[in-house]
Amino acid sequence: MRRSAFVPTVNGAIDEYEDKIISQHSEGTRNDKRVTFNRVRYALGEIKTSSIQMSHVQALFVGRESAHGHLAESTFNKCLGDIKNMFEWWYLMGWCQPPALLFQGIKSKKIPEKHRIRLNREQMTAALNAADHPRDRIFLAVIMNSGMRVSETRELRVKDATRFNDNWSVAFSRIKTGTVDTAVCTPLLKRELAKWLEFYDKECGPLDPEWYLIPAVTKPQLGRRVNGKSAPDTHSRRINPTAQYKTQGSRLLPMVLDKIGVSTKDHKGEKTHIFRRTFALRFYLEGIARGIHPTLVVSVVQSMLGHKKQETTWLYIGTDHVKEERDAIMADMWIMDDPDAPMGFDALIREASQRIEAETKAWDTLISIVGGDDPEMAQQLTALRAGRVGAGSLDEDTRGRGGLWQ
């Protein structure tokens, strides 16, 4: 660590870190980290970084009332890692005490096992048909059929949806990496895009390439009274092609899921990612059904979702489909003989093997006793044994001559 004569305040140190380090990341990542760092600004105020003690760091993370105590486990861990990295940089600049000392006793939270909601094909169709406005329908169609993050649909422009012969594609920017990807549209999305652009053009005039593909729409006006209350008139909504759809479905998605009977009450933060996880699972199953190797399918899904790690992609795909296959196998599989059945196949084989082994030993004993002094008799008995062992039990006459079962 190099010692610095200049020691900034927490606000100044965060500004320096954002300017020198965070500015290298994509816009989406920068925005996420700024939200985290703003909590540090609020909690620690204008104190000098050299004055930061363990108690200050504990105020950020320890207890429900701390700056980050209300966050879900995965978000808490992400914020803890980001702030630790910032303190490491401050320490290298000579502005604060060693992070190992300041963060002593503060650990990542264990993420509990949660059931992640994924929709089946019927639910996806019902959700699409539950949209009250064409803009809502195209928004749902895009996130259902492309694997885009909800936030990635915000910047889509009319020019990003291109048609070549009968094929449509949508170009979009990865919110976390800043890279541009072009996704070929599914048959359903091609049809929905064509219908939407026709409606868009009819409502707003000749389409401008710079207009938002999924624009803002005004709130519905109150219409006729239903059960004594004024009901919203969805047909009164007007499109604003130059304004972003900023709410990004935060109101739409819960409403749609509620309409199709999917409850998200006990699944905090589930609403926006339900369709993304569903896309990952459906794409994976489709690839497997087409005979593509699972490793390759997962790699394709990973690239489409924009994940850095394949482990994250597997979390999106989930294991529900594996459990379904397991249950189908278990429903028809016998791992032992049925104790209520007359005789299982494996038991029959074992019984036959044991019987043949016993008969062979009995014939060997009989030949040695009866044919010991009569080579011709021994030869006849040997020939007889060849046709009798395994064909049935020894007859009573043979048993008597040997005296073996008396």
pLDDT, tens digit (0-9, with 9 covering 90-100), for 187-217? 999 999 999 999 999 999 899 999 999 999 8
Q: How does pLDDT run across 61-112, given as a tens digit for each residue? A: 988 788 888 888 888 999 999 999 999 999 999 999 999 999 999 999 887 7
Average per-residue pLDDT in the chain? 80
| Neighbouring residues of 35: CB distance < 8 A, sequence distance ≥ 6 | none
Check residue 245 and give its pLDDT: 87
| pLDDT confidence of residue 308 | 82
pLDDT computed for residue 55 by the predictor: 92
The reported pLDDT for the residue numbered 241 is 92
The residues that bridge with 164 in the sheet, in sequence order, are 167
Percent of the chain with pLDDT over 90: 29
Domain ranges of the chain: 10-102, 121-269, 345-402
Look at residues 126, 139, 162 and name the one whose alpha carbon lies nearest to residue 217: 139
CA triple 14-17-22, angle to 5 deg: 115
Instruction: Give me the residue label for tokens 């006459």.
Output: 397
Give me the percent of the chain exceeding a pLDDT of 70: 79
Contact 256, 271 (CB under 8 A): no
> Whole-angstrom distance between the N-terminal and C-terminal Cα of the chain?
97
Tell me the two tokens of residue 159. 């020019």
CA 147/CA 74 separation, integer angstroms? 21
Q: How many whole angstroms separate alpha carbon 318 and alpha carbon 304?
A: 16
Would the pTM count as exceeding 0.85? no
Q: How many CB atoms lie within 10 A of CB 41?
A: 16
- The distance from CA 135 to its chain's CA centroid, rounded to whole angstroms, is 27
pLDDT string in tens for the chain (406-residue length): 455 567 899 999 999 999 988 887 777 678 888 889 999 999 887 899 999 999 999 999 988 788 888 888 888 999 999 999 999 999 999 999 999 999 999 999 887 767 788 888 899 999 999 998 999 999 999 999 988 888 888 889 999 988 876 778 888 777 666 677 887 888 999 999 999 999 999 999 899 999 999 999 887 655 555 555 555 555 567 899 999 887 767 788 888 888 988 877 766 656 678 888 899 999 998 998 899 898 899 998 888 888 888 888 888 888 766 666 667 777 777 666 666 666 556 666 777 788 888 888 887 877 777 666 677 777 777 777 776 655 544 444 444 433 333 3
Convert 320-331 to b/e letters by CB count within 10 Å (16 or more is b).
Answer: eeeeeeeeeeee
Alpha-carbon distances of 131 from 124, 135, 173, 180, 309, rounded to whole Å: 12, 9, 26, 29, 34
Q: CATH homologous superfamily for 121-269?
A: Intergrase catalytic core (1.10.443.10)
